[in-house]
Amino acid sequence: MSRPQPHKRATVHDIAAAAGMSRGTVSRVLNGGYVSAEARAAIETAMSDLGYVPNNAARALKMRRSQAVAFVALEPHSLFLDDPNIGSIMLGANAALSLADHQMVSLVVESARDTERVARYLSGGFVDGAIVVSARTKDPIIRVISDLSLPAAFVGHPPDLDQNIPFVGIDNVGSARAITEHLATGGRRRIGMIAAALDRDSGIDRLAGFRAALGPLFDADLVADVPHYDYGSGVKGMRDLLERDPSIDGVFAASDAIAAGALEALRDAGRSVPGDVGVVGFDDSTWAVRCQPQLTTVHQPAKEIGSCAAQLILRQLRGEHPDPGGQLLPTPLVLRDSA
Amino acid sequence: MSRPQPHKRATVHDIAAAAGMSRGTVSRVLNGGYVSAEARAAIETAMSDLGYVPNNAARALKMRRSQAVAFVALEPHSLFLDDPNIGSIMLGANAALSLADHQMVSLVVESARDTERVARYLSGGFVDGAIVVSARTKDPIIRVISDLSLPAAFVGHPPDLDQNIPFVGIDNVGSARAITEHLATGGRRRIGMIAAALDRDSGIDRLAGFRAALGPLFDADLVADVPHYDYGSGVKGMRDLLERDPSIDGVFAASDAIAAGALEALRDAGRSVPGDVGVVGFDDSTWAVRCQPQLTTVHQPAKEIGSCAAQLILRQLRGEHPDPGGQLLPTPLVLRDSA
DNA sequence: TACGGATGTGTGAACGTGCACACAGTAGGA
DNA sequence: TCCTACTGTGTGCACGTTCACACATCCGTA
């Protein structure tokens, strides 16, 4: 069986031979060191003549550094399709890694098969670290990363996360509380919530903040529980709430996409927003300004979250130990028209 | 300067020593060959005791195969944030590569700095091939890939694409023509278009199809030209068209996101859809069913496009030469409520 | 008995790189 | 004169893996 050889590529040997120098000198041209002007010139012309590109796999093997960092998106199906947030986090992380001359490679995990392959990939020396987004409690990838002791940073923090792994996120409890209070201050009496993703810390915490804000006025009957942060869930959740209590006059949606869905359900039911019902969202994503009326929401600094996670990795690569515990970024309220 | 050593990891040597065997036997346990049951057992316990994971960088160096394929998204800023299509293409490609036990790694190119680094990465032996999405005419990445003669597949085809590089896409001209004809058949007289991305083949071809469908009825004054396939562009483009000709009664939007924006502008202008104005989109993305009314549109088989691109790569890796020219996937019309 | 094949195992040489070391020549100061 | 410092270059080794080859053993058969 003959392996298909994609391309016969020049190596340091070939360059050295063509320039009449030794491998060491070629290496010094590439990585710095004492090289005479003539030698450098000869080697550089040889490199461009032969179209030399260094083999990073060999370099990674020798240096134990690949200059690449993985961005692992778990169960991104709905995320990529409905939640613009993860895109922003990715772009933020990429920008920060790019400045440090690291390549971000993002890996998608959808199936068990993917999990295993990604684990192999992460442990294989192709990357120096990993940013993990949207891990659920008991996610097998958490164990894999702990076992490998690969430099890592999580976005959000599953409760069973290893103490030594740093994370970055937002204060979901506090932000949810703040936006709920805004709704209450506006004079709303019957305030409900469309809670989502209660298998993740973000979902649990947003519900906790909502509950804390209302205190004794909290009514468990006014909480609709939907699986995902997406538009369709918003429509369904809002219909549900309207059925349970037609006198509802305020809704906190766990995401902007959900809020957008809720607006549709309210429109169908003939309720005006913000006249009859005040609606607030969460994320300040592109959804927020697309809606009619535009959403009052919690700004989630997605780009900063991404770049912050990247910094956590870069710091570990410099040998610094990250502060234990997490880093929480501020989340200002954004007041628009929906409440 | 001491390099931060993330982890002292076991190698085949260590396993061999622990099991009282030689490296070769360990390799055979991993890659198949004649191994006695006792030897296999001893080595397997040694592997699990020492927590052995093979070093892919070393394997890639030796085998000249990394079992990884890059997914290069060019200028994804607006793509990731506004266009759910690219997410679907990614997931489709990942699924296909996953079945063939290849890791998909996606790379984001936003700046010139990114282009250079990605080029280095692609040529460095970390990946066996590359899927390139959303390349513009004269994109430097095209040259890089041609020069490397790295197995590649493009999604869409910039006109200056190397003849030898296969691509996958849809018949933008034909689909645009078909949906425009649907609009005309419905009895609309003054039909306009919100054309976008006229610096890419997709944008140019959709406009060409529109023009072909209308024939002599085509009126250049009823074409609004916007830069991107996003919601905001749709709002602007529609306002523009209404101003140019208030009697307009049909609109072909170059994407669903644009169509959604157009719906908003029409609502603001007090026009009913489909009563006063018929609107059709393109993509059949999540936008299409989120709108009020839901969009009549062209179904773009994004997942299939992704998996098809993946197949093109896998075929090249098996040493087969791909058919020159491209592969076009069918794009059925989806009739909903907006026209 | 001798031979060929199947099965099982060890050894050496690569893959392409970077670094430590060795060595050579020059210059300056004690 | 000798020692040191600096500049410039070549060589050997290691990174962790796989593969080709050599070798060893066992069995069935001519």
CA A18 to chain centre: 47
pLDDT along chain B (339 residues), means of 10: 51 93 93 90 94 92 93 76 81 95 94 90 93 82 85 88 89 97 94 93 94 96 94 95 97 96 95 96 91 94 96 93 86 96
CA distance A189 to B103: 53
Q: How many CB atoms lie within 10 A of CB B222?
A: 21
Residue B3 has a pLDDT of 35
Residue B78: predicted pLDDT: 63
Q: Are B193 and B252 in contact (CB under 8 A)?
A: yes
CA distances from A17 to A24, A26, A45, B148 (A): 12, 10, 12, 22
Nucleotide nearest to B23 (CA to C1'): C10
Q: Closest residue of A to B117, CA-based?
A: A103
Query: Given a cut of 90, is residue A161 above it in pLDDT?
Result: no
Rg (CA), chain B: 26
pLDDT tens digits, residue range A125-160? 899 999 999 777 778 888 888 888 899 999 988 777
Between residue 35 and residue 54 of chain A, the positions with Cβ below 7 Å from nucleic chain C are: 54
Is residue A84 pLDDT above 80, yes or no?
no
The first and second tokens of residue A240, run together, are 């549900």
Q: Which of A47, A10, A14 is nearest to A29 (CA)?
A: A47
| Residue, of A307 and B161, whose pLDDT is higher | A307
Q: Exposure string (b/e) for B176-209, b if CB count within 10 Å is 16 or more?
A: bbbbbbbbbeeebebbbbbbbbeebbbbbbbbeb
**Whole-number Å distance between alpha carbons of A207 and B262:** 36
Distance CA A9, CA A13 (A): 11
Q: Is the CB of residue A165 less than 8 Å away from at least one CB of chain B?
A: no
Q: List, for residues B1-27, the tens digit of each pLDDT value.
A: 333 334 468 999 999 999 999 999 999
Q: What gap in Å lies between CA A21 and CA A30, rounded to an integer?
A: 14
What's the pTM? Answer: 0.90
CB-strand contact A27/C, under 7 Å: yes
- Cβ atoms within 10 Å, residue B12: 22
Residue B81: per-residue pLDDT: 65
Q: Residue B78: which residues within 8 A CB-CB, separation 6 or more?
A: B228, B229, B230
What pLDDT does residue B11 have? 93
The mean pLDDT value of chain A amounts to 91
pLDDT of residue B1: 33
Q: Do B3 and A64 touch (CB under 8 A)?
A: yes
- Output the six-digit token pair for A151: 């430099």
Helix ranges restricted to H, B1-149: 12-19, 23-31, 37-50, 56-63, 76-82, 84-99, 112-123, 140-148
Q: Is the dihedral of CA A236, A240, A246, A252 positive or negative?
A: negative
> Which residue reads 């469309």 in tokens?
A194
In chain B, which residues have their Cβ closer than 8 Å to the Cβ of A10? none
| A80 contacts B16 by C-beta, under 8 angstroms | no
Contacts of B152 in chain A (CB under 8 A): none
Query: Does A6 score more than 50 pLDDT?
Result: no
Q: Is the pLDDT of residue A304 over 60?
A: yes
Q: Which nucleotides of C are covered by protein (CB under 7 A)?
A: 7-12, 14-21
A181-215 pLDDT, tens per residue? 999 999 999 999 999 989 888 899 999 999 999 99
Instruction: Scan for tokens 């694409």, then name that residue.
Output: B161
Q: What are phi and psi of A120, to 5 degrees?
A: -65, -45
A55 beta carbon to strand C: under 7 Å: yes
Which of B216, B198, B309, B304 has its CA nearest to residue B255?
B198
Amino acid identity, position A320: E
Looking at A77-81, A120-124, A140-144, B225-229, which range is the least confident one? A77-81
Sorted by where each starts, the structural domains of chain B and their CATH numbers stand as 12-54 (no CATH), 68-170+303-328 (3.40.50.2300), 172-298 (3.40.50.2300)
The amino acid that residue A335 corresponds to is L
Kind plus residue range of the DSSP H or E element containing B70:
strand B68-74
Query: Average pLDDT, stretch A20-40?
Result: 91
d(CA A123, CA A102): 18
Widest pairwise Cα distance in chain B: 87
Pairwise CA distance, residues B234 & B237, whole Å:
5
Written as six digits, the tokens of A284 are 């300040």
pLDDT at A2: 32
Q: Does any CB of chain A come closer than 8 Å to the CB of residue B57?
A: yes
Question: Exposed, middle or buried by CB within 10 Å (0-12, 13-18, 19+), for B2?
Answer: exposed
CA distance B298 to B43: 57
The better pLDDT of the pair A6, B32 is held by: B32
A229-255: burial string, b at 16+ Cβ within 10 Å, e else:
bbbbbbbbbbbbbbeeeeebbbbbbbb
Nearest C-alpha neighbor of B126 from the set B213, B61, B174: B61
Contact A323, A106 (CB under 8 A): no
| pLDDT number for residue B5 | 39
**Residues whose CB falls within 8 Å of the CB of residue B37, separated by 6 or more in sequence, listed in order:** none
Cβ of residue A28 lies below 7 Å from strand D = yes
A280 or A86: whose pLDDT is higher?
A280
Q: Confirm or reject contact between B100 and chain A (CB < 8 A).
A: no
Tell me the nt nearest to B32, Cα to C1'.
D18
Q: What number of H helices and E strands is found in chain A? A: 14, 12
Nearest Cα to Cα of residue B304 among B56, B88, B107, B38: B88
Q: Between vectors from CA A181 to CA A177 and to CA A186, what angle results, nearest 5°?
A: 160
Residue B149's pLDDT is: 83
Q: Which of A15-19, A72-76, B14-18, B51-55 has the lowest mean pLDDT?
A: A72-76
Residues of B in Cβ contact (< 8 Å) with A53: 120, 123-124, 148
Protein residue nearest nucleotide C20, by CA to C1':
A24
> Which chain B residue has the Cα nearest residue A95?
B110
What are B315's two structure tokens?
Answer: 């075929």
Q: CA-CA-CA-CA torsion for B145, B147, B149, B150, nearest 10 degrees?
A: -30
Which residue(s) pair with B169 in the sheet?
Answer: B328
- Window 190-209 of A, Cβ < 8 Å to B: none
pLDDT band (50, 70, 90) for residue A5: very low
| SS3 label, residue B276 | coil
B22 Cβ within 7 A of any nucleic strand D atom: no
Contact positions of strand D to protein Cβ (< 7 A): 7-12, 14-21
> In A, residues 2-21, which contact B (CB 8 Å cutoff)?
3-7
Quote the Cα angle for A228-A231-A236, to 5°.
80
Distance from CA of B4 to the nearest CA of A (A): 5
Kindly tell me if the per-residue pLDDT of A324 is higher than 80. no
- Across the range A73-89, mean pLDDT stands at 76
- pLDDT value of residue B48: 93
- Check if the beta carbon of residue B129 is closer than 8 Å to that of residue B72: no
| Tokens matching residue A105 | 């490679």
